[in-house]
Structures are given as structure tokens and as C-alpha cells.
A and B are shown apart, each in its own frame.
Chain A
Amino acid sequence: MAGIVSYGAYVPPTRLAFAAIGGREAKEGGPEKAVAWNDEDAVTMAVTAAVNCLRGFDREQVDGVMFACTSHPFEEKQGAALLARALDLPRTVRAADFSGSLRAGTGALRAAVDAVTAGTARRVLVVASDCRMGAPGSGLEMNFGDGAVAFLVGAADAVATLDACHAVTDEIVDVWRTAGDSFVHSWEDRFVVQEGYAPGIVEGVRGLLAAAGVPASDFAKVALYAPDKRSHGRAVRELELAPDQVQDPLFGRLGNTGCSFALLQLAQALETAKSGDRLLVASYGDGAEALALTVTEHLEKLDERRGVGWHLERRRGVRSYDRYLKARSLQTTEYAASKDPGLSATIHFRERDADTSLVGQKCRSCGAVQFPKQRVCETCFTKDEFDRYRLSDRVGKVLTYTFDFFFPTPDPPTVVTICDIDGARIHLQLVNVAPEAVTLDMLVEFEFRRIHQSGGRPNYYWKATPQ
């Protein structure tokens, strides 16, 4: 039976204290939200969540990518294709974007299971990621958090099978963002909850229970999307869920992560689930969609995943609202305003193996690994005798470093390193580390990030991060 074979999450380590938004001094342990930093967006978070999901799985077997996102940096240009290239998936992979609604995440997961069930795909990667922007000072700004979650969908070895689904579709202008607008808007919050969210999510869940023919009490955990803590509590009460059935939506820690929100809770439920547990996940947006899953014995065999719990441990508090505004390009700066034509799309195309996939080569003659692709081996000088060699999922070490105070960033210095990855040497920025903690020979992994916005487009590359 088709279902989830693996999962992984990504939550940016940067946390913005609510107090900082209000200009007050942030206290340790106070409410906060996860925020993508200046080199992150919905795509970079999606790639890292997918890398975490695919750890230990053969990427060659993936034949579908579905990317759910309402905040993809491109209105035209596929996110799934960018993901597929960053993950170095086979060229024959089927790719689709799901967008326009916070239901996109569950919609993509359901579509993937449908495809596997129908036999039109074997292994589909589903990634839901959002990095939505509330206007500075607005209630939505306080509400929104950023995060991504990925599921590998397959048949034979599912750790959780999808048993039943139910969808309700409605037309309501409660929360929206028009084309070209950076910020999400909403109608009066009482209307949004009373006529939109509350009846919608309850109708979706009750419809599912009816379709599955089981009572709510059968579910070990229920993961509900909710726009805020209060609405979540209200939905829990109406559905008469017992406290231990409710998956903690982590308000005040992660924030409302959009179309990945309910699915991040599902991932967290899987982190502690046992074989036989029934799980329910429901999302809301222009209607509602609810999915019922059953955990199988395969879950125990799945290697430990980097899920929500793993990411909650990695935390870097940001106490300055000003730095957040800079990081999110919400403040006019000279650098952001610079108008240049951007990188050559021709070169980007030609270099996509190196830049987007972090793929180098291995010399067939001497075995030396090198990056990027080049014609003549730098060790034995053999010409044109190489095999592709993916570096993005390897572990490297820092050979040398410097702290660059000139590179434009909201929080200099930028740590710049030369890393050795299986013998290849790459000049990379090192993130998620305080300068004083950088040491020679420290071990690093690699994360897909925005390197700059030349030409007003996000330009992506890889950065090192401590293992």
C-alpha cells in the first residue's frame, strides 16, 4: 500500500523573538518564530528538507518531484525543476509545482500517493516549503514562521500508509496575496476564523472520519493546520480531541509555516510514532483537506531522521528587529537597490551541474576528485577521462578560513573557507557558526543557499555548515 517511505524537515536556525518585533528586550525562553535568513528562501529550505528526507535512499530511484509552495521566488519558472537539479535527481524525473493555497502541501502528498497507487510513479519526493512575508509591523508578520518538510512517497516499504482522504473546496477571500505583491493580506481576523478556518477544518476532518469510518478517538496524533494558537484550540475543542491526541503545533517556537505547517506536524508525529498508530493531518486554504495514515512496522527500520525535533535544537536567537529587516530585504540598502543585468543565464545553464548540483568529477586515470568539471586533470593531466562525482552529500573539512567583513550581509563577518571534499577543494562560505568557533580541519556538510541577488533574481549556490 502506498504511503510515506521517508521524511525530513528543515527549520531555519534563526529565531526572531516576538519581543524584538515590538521593540522590547527579548527574554530567554520567550515566544519566537523561525525565520529564513538572507541566504534562505522557500527553495533553499525545500532542498535541505529533501536532502534530510533522502539520506540513506538512492536518489536514482526517485522518479517524481512535487513542490508545494505559496512563496516560490519565481512566479514563472518551476520550483520542482530547481529542486530536482539541486538534488541531482535523474533527468527523467516527473516534476510539478503545487501552489496558490496553503492546502498545496497536503494536495501534493495526496497526488504523489495517487500516482504511486496508480502505478504511474514509483518513488515521488514531495516537498512543502513556505517563507511567507507579512508586512512589517502587521499581525501576520508576528504569525508567520518559515520551514520546510519533505516526504518520500512509495509503495512497498511505507512507514505510514495513506488510508483515506477527504477534501472540501470553497471560495473565500480570507487570506490572499495578489501577483506582484510581496506581502500576504487578510480580511478581518474574526471573519477569517469564524467563516473560514474554523468551519472549514472541522468539516474537512469530520468528512474524513466519515469516509474512513473511524471515530476521532482512534487517532494517536492529529496534526492540524491553524492560523494561530487560539484558532487551533477552538478546532481541537470542536473536534473533541483529547490533549494527548493533539500534535503540538509549536506556536511561539516555529510560527505558522504556511503550506508546510500541518505536514511539519505530521513529520514530528512520525518522530515518536509506533507501528499501528493512526495519524491524521489536515490543512486549510480555500477549503480543507484531511488525510488519515497508519504507521507500519517499517518505521522502526528507518534510520533516525533530521525532523522537527532535530531542528528545534539548533537555534540562533536574533534580538534585533533591524537585522531581521535587513536579512529579509525589507529595508532599502544600497546593495539591494543596485541594478545590474544579473548573471549570464547562458553561463548559469552551462554550469548548472557545478553550481546547482555541486557535482564535480573523478579522474578515471588517477582517481583524484576535483571541482568544478574541467577538461584536464589537475593531478595527472589526463584529458577528458572523468566520471561525475556528487559532492553535495559528502562530508568535507575546513582547510583554511578567513572572516570577510566586506561581503554584503546583514551580520558580518562572512566566514569564508576552502574546504576539502574527498580531495576536491572548493571556496565556500561557512554558515551556522560563530567566527570564534571556526577551527582548522573542522568537519562540514553542505547546504543549498542563495549566494546573492544579482539581476534581482535569487542566485543559488552551496555553503558549508558544521557537521
Chain B
Amino acid sequence: MSRDSIRDKVAIVGVGCCPFGENWDQSPSDMIVDAAYEAYADAGIEKPQEQIDAVFTGSLYSARGPHECSDALKLWKPVTSVSNYCATGTDAFRCGVMSVACGLYDTVLVVGYDKPKDRGVAGPSVVMTQVRDLPQTPAGWFSICASRYFDKYGASRDDLARIAIKNHHNGTLAPNSFLKREITLEDYKKARLISWPFGLYDCAAQTDGAAAAIIARADLAKGYREDPVLVKGVTVFGGPNPQKDPTMDFLAWKPTIEASKVAYEMAGVGPNDIDVAQVHDCFSLTELLTYEDLGFCEKGSAKEHIASGRFEIGGELPVNTDGGLKSFGHPTGATGVRMIYENTLQLQGRAGERQTPGAEIAISHNIGGYPTACGIAILGRV
């Protein structure tokens, strides 16, 4: 296996992202068109029918499948629909990248989207196909590391609070975010509990959204724009259910650890090379564990790095500069592509108040399922 085989072969030449939120009056097609046409414009594409070779879509809730995207954009092109839990968006991007890297296509459109607010429930759907499926909610299964981790490393809700406060703040700086509201430690502590240790502010919102990226062969990228962003590495990892895994220690998420090893090797970089990161913060603890599982700090030391402000905008390694899932919500298929959108802006110096000065290497990360699926994309400035 040659892990560096796609490094620098594919470039992002345009990105787009619709406003995330409770988009009651928008259909999935409306959001897909907004995101894709912004990406077209960003890439200088005027005739998508002629310039796009294939489409890769990612959606978890779509009732209509790949047809939804082709129909919205009126594209008569090969289309692939990808579903991989919360890593869906990153996986759609990965499939697109592989198709370009292998030489099959020159230019590909990746669209991630989801419209959970059409279902009439505030949280994620809980599918009851068995009696075993319902002793829990997503907050319940993402909190299973809390009791062991807190017990072993002495972390607490105070550390989680700092993550929530940071991401709420960052969200106020992102034009397309849903929650644009600062919260205080007092707000955090007063909020109702969802699933201990998660209170309301530890949980990502549920929103609608779509994001798009146009990727092209690296050698053709400058034909679209002067500052394309290179794909250094992109991978997904899947594994058996960690709830049953006899080796699970409830201190780390194995999918992140395994995926990051591969992603760093593909990209030829290590955690110390990362300048800016967008990580999966479906719940505050997920972000805390991810700091360690991606190698940003030693296992058990996250709380010290949180306290030091290292992961805030202006810190040494800003994480979730746009406010993350906390502020954008989590339209599952869109999230991974939304992160790629933010990282692309960061690497191109277009992130405004959120900008990480001189960012050269950026990482994005999703984790989903129980969690079983992890997607990681590492991008770099040309």
C-alpha cells in the first residue's frame, strides 16, 4: 500500500456553503443549488455542464438519494451517493478525490447536504429496529467515555464548558453559522442536562445545510484559480461497534486514532505540522478526546491545553475556527464538506476575523456512528 500515492495530485479549486440553520422554507435542492453555485463561482466555472465531469454527494437523511443532487443542478453526469454516518461528507470528498487522482476525471463536484429539520423532531432520529437500539440517545452513546475519562484524568464539566464557550464565540464570527451567540460559564452551568455530563451547551444543534467543493487535477488547478488548495491526505476508518469492543478503555476513540495514523502518513505530516483544525464536536467531550486522539496533545492532558487557550482563535492551534458543529449544527452529510470549506478559506487567507495567520496545513475530522466511522482530510497551501 502506497500511502502517499494521492498526495498533491488533487486540488480544491472552489468552495461554497449555504447558511446553516432551521431552513424551513428551503428544500434540499434549494440548499444544494446555493452551495454548488457558490462553488462554481469560486472556481470561475461558468458552464458546469461542460466543466464538471462527475458528482459525488453525501447525505444521511436523503429520501431521494443521488437523484436529488443531479436534478437540483440539472447535471447529466455520473453521480455517486455516499453514506458513512457522520463521516459522510468527508467520505464523499474522499471518493471524489480518488476518482480524480486515478485519472478518471479532471474536475469533480462534491456536495454534502442534509435536511433533518423536515422530520419534525428536534434531535436525531432514533431508529427502533430492535429493542437493543433504544436504551440510549446519541448524547448517551457519545458520553460513555466521560465517567472513565473523568475518573482517570481528573477532567470535569468545567473543561467541557471552555470548549462550548470557545465554539459559541467562534460561531459569532462565521457568516454561515446558525448559532451566533456568546455564552458564559454561568449560562453553561444553568442549562438543563441532556445526558450527563452533557448539558444543552455541550450538544451540537440540529440544522439543515449544504456545502460544496470543486476538485480538479492539481496540474490543471491554476486554470481555475491562482490559489488552489492541495489535498495532502484523505481517509476514512470504520470498525466494529466500540460498545462491544472488549479492548475499549473508554478513554479514547479508536476510529480517530487509526484514521489519523493513515492520514498523517498519506500527507507526510504529523500533528505538530497542523496550523488549524476543524474537528467533530457533536458533543464537547468528542472535541476534547479528539485533541488527544489526533495527537495534538498527550492522552489525559487535554484539560491543560484547553486552559492555556491553545485551541482558541489566536492560540497556537486554533480548533473549530468557524464554531464547529456547536454553532453550525450538524446536517450530517454537509458537515465534513463544511469543514473543508472553512479549511480552504483558512489556507487561502480568506477567513476574515477567524483567520489563522500564515496557515499552511489544515486538518478536518469527523467521527460518527457509535462511533465507528472516522473521516479525516488534510489540506495544504500550494
- Interface residues of chain A, those whose CB is within 8 Å of chain B, are 340, 343-344, 347-348, 351, 354-355, 368, 370-372, 378-379, 399-407, 413-414, 416, 418, 423-429, 435, 440, 451-452, 454, 459-461, 463
Contacts and interface: CB of A to CB of B under 8 A. Distances in A.
B27 interface: no
A354 B145 contact: no
Contact of B132 (A378, A400, A413, A427): A427
B71 interface: no
Given A418-B144, A425-B244, A440-B147, A404 B136 contact: yes
B156 interface: no
B194 to A, nearest CB: 6
A404 B142 CA distance: 11
Contacts of A451: 131, 134-135
A459 B134 CA distance: 11
A406 to B, nearest CB: 5
**4 nearest A-B residue pairs (beta carbon):** A403-B196, A461-B131, A402-B143, A404-B140
B271 interface: no
26 contacts: A340-B128, A343-B131, A344-B129, A355-B131, A355-B132, A370-B244, A371-B244, A378-B245, A379-B246, A400-B148, A404-B136, A404-B137, A404-B139, A404-B140, A404-B194, A406-B195, A407-B134, A414-B135, A416-B144, A416-B195, A424-B244, A425-B244, A425-B248, A427-B135, A461-B131, A461-B132
B239 to A, nearest CB: 10
A378 B246 contact: yes
A348 B130 CA distance: 7
Interface string B274-289: 0000000000000000
B129 A400 contact: no
B296 interface: no
B78 interface: no
A403 B195 contact: yes
A190 B216 CA distance: 90
Nearest to B148: A400
Residue from A351, A402, A403, A404 whose CB has the most chain B CB atoms within 10 Å: A402
Contacts of B310: none
A378 B135 CA distance: 23
A347 B130 contact: yes
Contacts of B250: 399-400, 418
B246 A423 contact: yes
A435 B137 CA distance: 17
Contacts of A401: 144, 147
B151 interface: yes
Interface string B239-266: 0100111101010000000000000000
A344 to B, nearest CB: 6
A189 to B, nearest CB: 41
Contacts of A413: 193, 195-196
B349 interface: no
A405 B246 CA distance: 27
Given A416-B136, A427-B136, A440 B148 contact: yes
Nearest to B193: A405
Contact of B243 (A403, A427, A435, A463): A427
A406 B123 contact: yes
Contact of B195 (A371, A405, A424, A440): A405
B137 A347 contact: no
B192 interface: yes
A461 B128 CA distance: 13
Interface string B159-202: 00000000000000000000000000000000011111100000
A428 B128 contact: no
Nearest to B192: A405
Nearest to B135: A429
A400 B145 contact: yes
Nearest to B152: A440
B164 to A, nearest CB: 17
Contacts of B145: 400
Residue from B128, B245, B250 whose CB has the most chain A CB atoms within 10 Å: B128
Nearest to A406: B137
Nearest to A372: B132
Contact of A425 (B136, B141, B194, B246): B246
A400 B197 CA distance: 12
Contacts of A416: 135-136, 140, 144, 195
B129 to A, nearest CB: 6
Given A344-B129, A425-B246, A404 B134 contact: no
B135 A400 contact: no
B151 A440 contact: yes
B146 interface: yes
A462 B53 CA distance: 53
B248 A460 contact: no
A414 B196 CA distance: 10
Contacts of A371: 244
Nearest to A354: B132
Nearest to B240: A378
Nearest to B138: A406
Interface in B36-60: none
Interface in B102-137: 123, 128-132, 134-137
B340 to A, nearest CB: 31
Contacts of B132: 351, 354-355, 372, 427, 461
Nearest to A376: B240
Contacts of B128: 340, 343, 452, 454
B122 to A, nearest CB: 10
Residue from B136, B192, B197, B243 whose CB has the most chain A CB atoms within 10 Å: B136
Contacts of B195: 402-406, 413, 416
Nearest to B195: A404
Residue from A354, A413, A427 whose CB has the most chain B CB atoms within 10 Å: A427
B42 to A, nearest CB: 40
Nearest to A451: B131
A372 B133 CA distance: 12
Nearest to A425: B244
A134 to B, nearest CB: 29
Contact of A407 (B136, B148, B151, B192): B136
A331 B145 CA distance: 36
Given A406-B123, A435-B196, 12 more contacts: A344-B129, A348-B130, A379-B246, A402-B139, A403-B196, A404-B137, A404-B194, A406-B137, A416-B140, A452-B134, A454-B128, A461-B135
A454 B134 CA distance: 10
B155 to A, nearest CB: 14
Residue from B123, B128, B130, B135 whose CB has the most chain A CB atoms within 10 Å: B135
Contact of A355 (B130, B144, B147, B244): B130
Contact of B196 (A344, A355, A402, A440): A402
Residue from B146, B148, B196 whose CB has the most chain A CB atoms within 10 Å: B196
Nearest to A405: B193
Contacts of B248: 425
Given A427-B135, A460-B131, A461-B132, A402 B193 contact: no
Contacts of A428: 135
B146 A425 contact: no
A92 to B, nearest CB: 26
Nearest to B197: A402
B246 A351 contact: no
